[in-house]
Structure 1
Amino acid sequence: MSNVLYEVRDGIAIITLNRPEKLNALSIELGHELAAAWERFQSGPERAAILTAAGDRAFSVGADLTDPPEIWPFAPGVGVHVDKPVVAAVNGLCVGGAFILVQFCDLCVMSETATFVYPEAKIGLTGGLITSLAARMPHKLAMEFMMVGEPMTAQRAYEAGLVNQITAPDALMDAAMDYATKLAGLAPMVLSTIKRHVAEVLPKGPSEKAGIARRDLQAVRESDDFREGTTAFREKRPPQFKGK
């Protein structure tokens, strides 16, 4: 069974974390599948995406501590370049690294019964991506959420500007689809330009900058040009680079 589902509905990509028996905990394998889903979305014809999760109890309880992944490789806009709009649809608990996924989405719809938690200071580990939250909500509230580690209700997240809309649990996907449908009907070049330019405006923490740099360098290392260059060197001939 796939850990991440990719469905296209009316031209919208619905990307679903799919480990409900584990409360959608983020494993290394799930991370690989989610990165592939973002790549498929970015390169495909879909103009907007919804990130959601299977089951009612949790969007995700965060990193699977028996198989903990690095979060940056599958965070949209960090490990994978995504300049199309993404709407998060959050049901149930959303913890740690899962919150970071929502943080890097463009819009967020949240069930009235859902909760955000960032407990990493209680566990003794952080990847650092959370720090750019201070650019996305008032500083003191961001510091409280990151450092104290107490749950944040949907209502408080809405008041802090982290959430666009709160819904009843059974209306969550309808609200997310409404946003995604509106976005998909707008000029894609304009939306992509706005998203890229906003990414330049928002301050980035050290981990986010490092993740983006590692993404770019990894793309060079895995490129056809690198393989061609090393092959040409061994064969003592001029390389034929193609820029990919």
Structure 2
Amino acid sequence: MSEAEPVAYEVRGSTAVVTMDRPDYRNAQNSVMTYALDRAFQRAVDDDDVKVIVLAGAGKHFSAGHDIGTPGRDVDVHYDNEAIIWWDHVGREGGDQRYAREMEVYLGMCRRWREIPKPVIAMVQGACIAGGLMLAFVCDLIVAADDAFFADPVVRMGIPGVEYFAHPWVLGPRAAKEILFTGDRFTAQRAYEWGMVNRVVARDSLEAETFAIADRIAAMPRFGLALTKRAVNQCEDAMGMRNGMDSVFGLHHFAHAHNAEVGADSLGGMDAKSMKSAGS
């Protein structure tokens, strides 16, 4: 796939496979990818023959997270406001620009995808970092290869976690604090022990195991699956996830503003290279 369309789409039986396809950049997420993902998910929702969706990443890694330094980074590119109703971020300044963009492309899109009425399975290998972790969080199940590793290291930027802040609900409060306070990577096995991951399988069995689960789910009634997914999501929100996430999104942007006021930029002077050298 070209940089202009960095998401592949195919249907295998009753399962749609949505694949992030920027392997040269560890599937870093720019806005072009975000909207390509949204189109692919919508295509799967509209196809009555599709019962389950698998989200995958091409190459060695699932996703290294938000694009903060590739040649395809497109922070100043117009988007079409599919997730929320707000003005465009292009041509805005300061917090207006950052808030509008991140509410749409990150928090808004993740919430939109969490509400997909068909089961979504993340098939994770290699790196699943920061924004990649958000994509895994919105999926209903996570099947991880034994070489998968996870992290949300943005506290190194002075920022309290990524925009879709599901950590306390997905990991539990103490595990969430550990991974955020340290910025350390954690293994697929540790994620399984914390309840974040459903299964850990050998790397060469990842695809077969994921599609076997998808086939079992696809045998269930489609409307029953949709209602069950909605039931669990509603209970999760009743436990405070949506309101908590809204409050943390404000803290996230306060951190951006603080960084911009006291330093060189909103990311605390960090870039892709410095984040990687620090252990990400």
Q: TM-score range by the shorter chain?
A: 0.7 to 0.9
Task: Assess, with a 3 A threshold, how the Cα gap between structure 1 residues 205 and 73 changes in structure 2: closer, same or farther.
Answer: closer
Alignment-derived partner of residue 241 in structure 2? 204
Q: Deviations over 1:3-57 (max 9, x none)?
A: 111110012100101000111000110011011111112222211011011002x
| Alignment match, 1:129 | 164
Structure 1 distance, partners of 2:109, 2:8, is: 15
Q: Any unmatched runs of 5+ in structure 1?
A: 211-244
Determine the structure 2 residue equivalent to 1:26: 29
Matched-pair contact (CA < 8 Å) for 2:134–2:162: no
What amino acid is the match of 1:17?
M
Quick one: which amino acid aligns to residue 173 of structure 2? H
Letter in 2 for 1:96: A
Residue from 59, 62, 65 that aligns with 1:62? 65
1:49 aligned residue: 53
User: 1:145 is matched by which residue type in structure 2?
Assistant: I
Which secondary structure does the structure 2 equivalent of 1:162 belong to?
Answer: coil
Which segments of structure 1 move beyond 6 Å, counting only runs of 4 or more?
A: none
Gaps of 5+ in 2: 76-101, 248-280
Corresponding pairs, count: 207
* 8 Å CA contact retained: 1:35, 1:73: no
Asked if the contact 2:64–2:128 (Cα under 8 Å) also holds between the matched residues in 1, the reply is: yes
Cross-structure match for 1:241? none
- Output the amino acid matched with 2:36: E
Q: What is the deviation of 1:145? A: 1.8
Candidates 17, 20, 37, aligned match of 2:40:
37
Q: Secondary structure, in 3 states, of the residue corresponding to 1:99?
A: helix
Q: Map 1:93-132 to 2 at 5 A.
A: 93-125=127-159, 126-130=161-165, 132=166
- Percent identity of the aligned residues? 29
Post-superposition offset of 1:83: 1.4
Give the alignment's TM-score, normalised by structure 1. 0.79
Residue among 83, 86, 89 paired with 2:117: 83
C-alpha contact (below 8 Å) 1:111/1:167 kept by paired residues: yes
Q: Which residue of 1 aligns with 2:14?
A: 11
> Is residue 2:107 matched to residue 1:72?
yes
Task: Decide whether the 8 Å contact of 2:114 with 2:138 is kept in 1.
Answer: no
The alpha carbon displacement at 1:168 in A equals: 1.1
- Structure of greater Rg: 1
SS at match of 1:89: strand
SS in 1 for 2:175: helix
Query: Do the aligned residues in 2 keep the contact of 1:4 with 1:30 (CA within 8 Å)?
Result: yes
Give the structure-2-normalised TM-score.
Answer: 0.69
Contact 1:112 1:168 in 2 (8 A): yes
Q: What is the alpha-carbon distance in structure 2 between the residues aligned to residue 117 and residue 35 of structure 1?
A: 24
Structure 1 207/108 Cα, relative in aligned 2: closer, same or farther at 3 Å? same
Distance 2:22 2:171 in 1: 30
RMSD: 1.9
Partner of residue 156, structure 1: 190
